[in-house]
Amino acid sequence: MPGVSVQLGKVAVVALGGNAITREFEEGNITQQFANTRRSLVGVADLIERGYRVVLTHGNGPQVGNALIRVEETRHLVPPLPLGVIVADLQGGMGYMIQQSLQNKLIKRGIQREVCTVVTQVIVDKNDPSILNPTKFVGPFIPEDRVEEFRRTRGWVIKRDPGRGWRRVVPSPLPIAIVEKATIRMLVEQGVVVIAAGGGGIPVYVEEDGTYEGVDGVVDKDRAAAILAREIGAEELYILTGVDKVALNFRQPGQVDLDFMTVAEAKEYHRQGHFPKGSMGPKIEAAIDFLEHGGKLVMITSVQRFPEALNGRTGTRIVP
């Protein structure tokens, strides 16, 4: 396409954690979010400079939490928004921040590549077990004396977040396919850098007549990134998180940082319980899924050290 000035090669999906944009102990205002976004995209720009065709996806956990607080604080003034619409809104807003920040980085490097954001729906099974038994905590904490009221008047499922308090829980069904895959793939083939499936995508299921219906839930960002990578024929998947390397016995005596794993080794370590459900587990499961469906490489590392990881100085590489 016009403006592309580098020889384009491999297709890679890069999954940014939501904490790359809103960091712990920060207020999370827009100025901070833009600054964090700019810092988080150095390695992505390096990848593009090497000629990769790149699709970016991102988490939205902190942002969804803030959005749900806004809904609760203003429901007496304006109609509340359902969770699926909030995810869609955040795909646009966060996509704008990532898109502009990356455009500016590429301009400063003299790289001519188009960047765009695609609001993305992700197909899930309407009979997914998590829909019947939701477990994903979202939104603000609820005073214990109002739990029954909220259950009755709002139809929420509310559970105790261990050691923290009462919170709403929503379904987090497994992603099956990307609705906009053909559009994303076409853009990637033309050399466009695409931001897609933000926050794991908007969960939808397929009706018997082939139409789509939204699900009031959230999809795990890393699992969605693996499905996205499969659907567009990516060869490499980069999962950027809060640690430099995957580790055995994480934060315990005898911690062992891993430079390299095969799928078989990753499965065995996972079976042994090294990768907890709430943290590294979904990332390892996403990596295994991607590699077992034709992927060539998964790298897991921190956002801050992604540029170093690309040069082999840190990060954990997982191969078939």
**Long-range Cβ pairs for the range 32-36 (8 Å, 24+):** 33/97, 34/97, 34/101
Separation between Cα atoms, residue 273 and residue 249, nearest integer Å: 9
Give the CA angle between residues 81, 84, 85 to the nearest 5°. 50
Residue 247 and residue 257 in contact, taking contact as beta carbons nearer than 8 Å:
yes
DSSP category for residue 95: H
Catalytic residues: 18-19, 136, 221, 283
Separation between Cα atoms, residue 64 and residue 68, nearest integer Å: 6
CB-CB neighbours of 281 under 10 Å: 16
Residue 158 and residue 142 in contact, taking contact as beta carbons nearer than 8 Å:
yes
Closest CA to 176 of 213, 124, 235, 236: 124
Does the CA dihedral 178-180-186-192 come out positive or negative?
A: negative
Separation between Cα atoms, residue 171 and residue 129, nearest integer Å: 9
Characterize the bridge pairing of strands 212-214 and 260-262.
unpaired
Separation between Cα atoms, residue 265 and residue 174, nearest integer Å: 23
Side chain identity at residue 212, one-letter code: Y
Q: Which residues, in sequence order, are CB contacts of 81 under 8 Å at separation 6+?
A: 67, 71, 89
Secondary structure class of 36 (helix, strand, coil): helix
